[in-house]
Amino acid sequence: MRVAGPSPARNGEPRFERRGAERRLRARLVGLQAGRAITRHDAQGTWRTAIAKRAVAAAIIGPEGIIGDAVADRRHHGGTEQAILAYAAKHYPAWEAEWAHILAARTIPDIPEGSPAPHGGPTEIAGARGALPDGDRPAAAHDAPLRLPCGAFGENFTLDGVDETTVCIGDIWAAGALRLQVSQPREPCYKPGRFWGVPEAAARMIATRRTGWYLRVLASGPIAAAAHPTSHPTPPGEAASGAPQPPALAAPVLAATLTAAPTGEPAGCAGDANAAATIAAGAELVLEARPYPQWTVARVLEVFYACKAGGATADAAALAACPALSPKWRARLTRGG
C-alpha cells in the first residue's frame, strides 16, 4: 500500500528534497512493524522467534526501539545499537521473483489477505494456505503473484527511496524531533529462512547484499502522524501446531495510546520528553547529517565479509576506526571478523 503524500521514489531510486543549493536525501516509511516472540514447531524441532512482525499504524520508540516489539534472542539482537531494523522496499520484487517457485511448492506461514506489500497492492502468496503437490494444485495457483508483506524480513521499518548503496554508517535521519543514526549492517541469521521455509535465505541475503541495517536512537520527541495512517491485519502467525497465538499488537490501540498522551509528551513516558517518541506509518525521514560518506552499508558489508575470509586488512582497520560503527562490529573487525 502506498501512503498518500509527496511522490515516492521511482523504482526505489533515491529521492531528494531541494532546499536552495542543498539536496537532502529522503526516505518514506512505507511499512512500520512490531511483533511478539512466539514459539514455532517445524521438522527441525521447536524454536523461538520474534521475526513474525505485524503492521501497526503508529508506535512508540524508546532507546531500544519500538516499545512492545519483542526480541527473542538478546544475545544476538536488540539493545541500543540494534534498536530498529530497517529494510529497503526496493528489494521485495527481487525476492518475490526469486522465491516464487520455491514458496509455491512449500508450506509457508499463513498471511492474511490484504496485508500491505511494499510495492503496492494486496499481499497474495501462492500456496499460502499450505503446500499442495503439483498435481493437486489448481492451475491458477501456479500463476498467482507472490507478494511478501512489509516486515517479511523481520524489519521494523520498510523504507522506500534508500538501500544499502545509498545509506551510510553514521547517517543521522530526522523526523520531527526524532533522530536516528545508522549503526551497523544487519548480519542475517537463519531465522528468516526457517520462518519462510527457504533455508538458503541468509546466504542469499549476504551474497546479494540485501541485508538491511540497524539504527540507534539519538534523540526523541513527538513527531506528526502521517496524513493517512494505516491499520493492517495480523502478519504470519503460529504454525498449525495447536500452540496459542500470542496477543496481537492492535494498531488502533497503539494509535489511541498515542493520542491519549498529554500535550507535548509521548505516550508511555509522561514527564520524560527524551524517553520515547511516536512515529506513524507513512512518515518521511530526511537525511540530516552524513559524517562518513565513504562507508555505505554495502561497502561495509564487502569489507566485513572480506575480513572474515582473511582479506581486506587495511580497509578493515580503517572501518574499525569509524566511531559511528557499533562497538560490536568494530571489535569483530579488529579481531578479523
Give the up-direction half-sphere exposure of residue 136: CA atoms within 13 A in the CB hemisphere.
6
pLDDT of residue 220: 64
34 forms beta bridges with 54
Stronger pLDDT, 238 or 318, i.e. the higher one? 318
Decide which of 335 and 167 is more confident: 167
Contact 291, 323 (CB under 8 A): no
Q: What pLDDT is recorded for position 176?
A: 80
- Torsion sign over Cα 150, 154, 158, 159: negative
Q: What is the per-residue pLDDT across 224-238, written as a single tens digit (0 to 9) for each?
A: 333 233 332 223 333
Worst-scoring range by mean pLDDT, 26-40, 184-198, 218-232, 258-272?
258-272
Residues 208 and 297 in one domain: no
Give percent helix, percent strand, percent coil of the chain, each to the nearest 5. 25, 25, 55
- Tally Cβ neighbours within 10 Å of residue 107: 16
Q: Is pLDDT of 194 > 70? A: yes
Per residue in 116-132, pLDDT tens?
667 654 333 332 322 22
259 lies in some domain: yes
Asked if the model's pLDDT at residue 294 lies above 90, the reply is yes
Domain boundary among 259, 274, 291: 291
> pLDDT at position 16, please?
53
**Does residue 41 form part of some domain?**
yes
Number of domains in the chain: 2
Does the structure show a pLDDT above 90 at 263?
no
Cell output for 68: 512492545
Does residue 197 sit in the same domain as residue 328? no
Q: What's the pTM? A: 0.74
Asked if residue 152 is part of any domain, the answer here is: yes
Q: Half-sphere exposure of 334 toward its Cβ, with a 13 Å CA cutoff?
A: 10
Query: Is the predicted pLDDT of residue 185 greater than 80, yes or no?
Result: yes
Q: How confident is residue 92, by pLDDT bands cut at 50, 70 and 90?
A: very high
306 has a pLDDT exceeding 60? yes
Q: Write out the residue range of the structural domain in which residue 172 sits.
A: 10-291
Domain containing 85 — which CATH number? 2.40.33.20
In a domain, 123, yes or no: yes
Q: Specify if 1 maps to a domain.
A: no
